[in-house]
Amino acid sequence: EPEVTQTPSHQVTQMGQEVILRCVPISNHLYFYWYRQILGQKVEFLVSFYNNEISEKSEIFDDQFSVERPDGSNFTLKIRSTKLEDSAMYFCASSWGLAGGPRTDTQYFGPGTRLTVL
Amino acid sequence: GQQLNQSPQSMFIQEGEDVSMNCTSSSIFNTWLWYKQDPGEGPVLLIALYKAGELTSNGRLTAQFGITRKDSFLNISASIPSDVGIYFCAGRTGGSEKLVFGKGMKLTVNP
């Protein structure tokens, strides 16, 4: 069964450093998402991406965050200058839909990248 | 912003027992989803609901989309040890891409 994959599984970085988290969504999906989950808390939406642009973002997704689909398979989340409070699990998700048409709401999640900022 | 109130926060049950959990919201949702998360892993979709009143089963799991579109419940029947984990409800409102998650229900099943 197709699945969302994420690399690395665990990333440790120093405060102020840039990190790039990588995701390979399910191949025929058109909508891509990033969520994060601080330890012991609920999953929170960061951003959605469709047709090579951000379609929605939360207040968490400030200027230090950016997303990119650099090729036909990868979807990345960049944190420009990490802070201690960025430590969390970051989940990529994808969902299917027809370009410009209806889509399913079912979002499939990857296994996550645990980001630790020291 | 939208919030989902998920209850209970945790349950300790014996193997073989049934368990129910629910989510409520002050907002109307167009979609309700139920996910299970094991430690250190991503949420795994259990059941997706798209219409008010919809009742859907997946093996021992049954979920319903409330008539008011502001609530949903998930039942697990005849629990087994591998049902252990955290169960999240999630919803999507019209006009928004994002899923709003509940705080989760931690299930412990004693063999």
Give which of A4, A45, A116 to mutate to test B binding, by max B Cβ within 10 Å: A45
Token output for A115: 């980001």
pLDDT at B63: 97
Q: Write out pLDDT tens, residues B64-83.
A: 999 999 999 999 999 999 99
Mutate to test the interface with B, among A34, A38, A109 (most CBs of B within 10 A): A109
Q: How far is A63 from chain B (nearest CA, A)?
A: 19
Answer yes or no: is pLDDT of B95 > 80: no
Neighboring chain A residues of B50 at a CB cutoff of 8 Å = 105
Distance from CA of A30 to the nearest CA of B (A): 13
The residue with greater pLDDT, B16 or A98, is B16
Nearest beta carbon to residue A111 from set B41, B45, B88: B41
Q: Which residues pair with A5 in a beta bridge?
A: A24
- Record: contact B50-A58, CB cut-off 8 A: no
Per-residue pLDDT at B5: 93
Q: Are the C-beta atoms of B20 and B13 separated by less than 8 Å?
A: no
Whole-number pLDDT of residue A28: 84
Instruction: Give the nearest partner residue to A56 out of B40, B44, B98, using CB atoms.
Output: B98
Burial of residue B55 (number of CB atoms within 10 Å: 0-12, 13-18, 19+): exposed
Taking the CA of residue A16 and the nearest CA in chain B, the distance in Å comes to: 25
CA A22 – CA A115 distance, rounded (Å) = 12
Model confidence at A98: pLDDT above 60: no
pLDDT, residue A100, reads 45
d(Cα A11, Cα A20) in Å, to the nearest integer? 9
Residue A42 forms contact with B (CB below 8 Å): yes
pLDDT 10s digits, A51-94: 899 999 999 999 999 999 988 789 999 999 999 999 999 999 99
Using pLDDT thresholds of 50, 70 and 90, give the confidence band for residue B96: confident
Closest CA to A107 of A65, A56, A53, A72: A56
pLDDT at position A102, please?
A: 46
Which residues are CB-neighbours of A101 under 8 A, at least 6 positions away?
none
pLDDT class for A97, splitting at 50, 70, 90? low
Cβ–Cβ contacts within 10 Å for residue A37, how many? 21
Between residues 6 and 65 of chain B, which touch chain A (CB distance below 8 Å)? 30-31, 33, 35, 40-45, 48, 50
Beta-carbon count within 10 A of A106 CB: 16
Four-residue CA torsion sign, B31, A99, A50, B95: negative
Per the listing, tokens 């048409």 go with A101
Backbone phi and psi for residue B75, each to the nearest 5 degrees, phi listed first? -115, 140
B97·A33 Cβ contact <8 A: yes
d(CA A97, CA A38): 29
DSSP tag of B70: S
